[in-house]
Amino acid sequence: MSNKIRKIGVLTSGGDSPGMNAAIRSVVRTCAFHNIGCVGIYRGYQGMIEGDFKEMGPRTVNNIINKGGTILKSARSMEFKTPEGRKKAYDNLVKAEIDAFVVIGGDGSFTGALLFNTEYNFPVIGIPGTIDNDIFGTSFTLGYDTALNTVVEVIDKIRDTASSHNRLFLVEVMGRDAGHIALNAGIGAGAEEILIPEEDMGLERLLDSLKKSKATGKSSSIVVIAEGDKIGKSVFELKDYVESNLPEYDVRVSVLGHMQRGGSPSCFDRVLASRLGVKAVESLLEGKSNYMAGIYQDKITLTPLEQAIKGHSEIDKELLRVSDIVSI
């Protein structure tokens, strides 16, 4: 393959997140700025296998910067995990004269891109799009800031009911493997306790904390729980456990679910998506491949895809300490 890039594909893969459309827009317009073609690849790697492509120009991405979800759609592709599936994808890219692609997604999407590059030496740059903020090599992933603001807004509304009825609310947020949303939204919304996968709080400590809250005059409480918390019980089992041990509490459960993934992206996510899109395209034009564009200390950086996949995003220990202090 010639080193000269004339056309770049862009796809979104894995779970959607607010800011993906802003990133698509940035990729398309950066291509136009540099006078190269851009092709939208629909439904992730499955669309690549099926040749579901559409030429995109600056006007095809009008009025999408403010929209959640992804106009290119997203889909899981089992077929792309097979050598035959990847061969079909490669043949379609060559036929469409696509010389490189930008994939917006999480570590599963990056793993697919890395494997594809290994087999076909096909230039690729990743943009991290997931609300969980669990990708190594970037301080923020697309959609995380929006999800946090959504969760805080909802918990604020729940607190109105909790305090009106002297209730304890267990609020489950997304974060199967990472507690970033629970920890930050919990502090932002003034939660009494925060349960996250990285820290095993234990049931006894939770009960002690709730007893202390009651003793110090708190009439209502909010406990924020990441869905992957290590306490070992579903949020509904946890409700039964608390009620059987602390009968003075009237416990309610709210599972926020997919509402955290939707909605108009925050200004932060729109600006980040715009910056990452420019970096992704310009990195490909400079001959770089197998990197993820991310942000660290407000500078746009490149991390090798392999590191982004294998690395582990750490929870901020100082935030845990802050949480303990301000929830007294």
132 is catalytic: yes
- Surface-to-core class of residue 104, CB atoms within 10 Å of its CB (0-12 exposed, 13-18 middle, 19+ buried): buried
Instruction: Please say whether the beta carbons of 44 and 74 come within 8 A.
Output: yes
* Phi, psi torsion values for 224, nearest 5 degrees: -95, 130
| Angstrom distance (rounded) from CA 130 to CA 183 | 17
Strand partners, 53: 41
Q: How far is CA 157 from CA 151, 153, 154, 163, in A?
A: 10, 7, 5, 10
Strand partners, 129: 142
> Per the residue annotation, which of 16, 132, 229, 269 is the catalytic one?
132
* Phi, psi torsion values for 132, nearest 5 degrees: -75, -15
Instruction: Please say whether the beta carbons of 294 and 128 come within 8 A.
Output: yes
| Angstrom distance (rounded) from CA 210 to CA 204 | 10
* Phi, psi torsion values for 187, nearest 5 degrees: -65, -45
Contacts of 257 (CB under 8 A, 6+ apart): 174
> Which residue has tokens 């009025």?
63
The H-assigned helical ranges of the chain are 20-33, 44-50, 83-95, 107-120, 144-165, 180-188, 203-215, 235-245, 267-285, 305-310, 317-326
Q: How many Cβ atoms sit within 10 Å of the Cβ of residue 58?
A: 13
Active site residues: 132
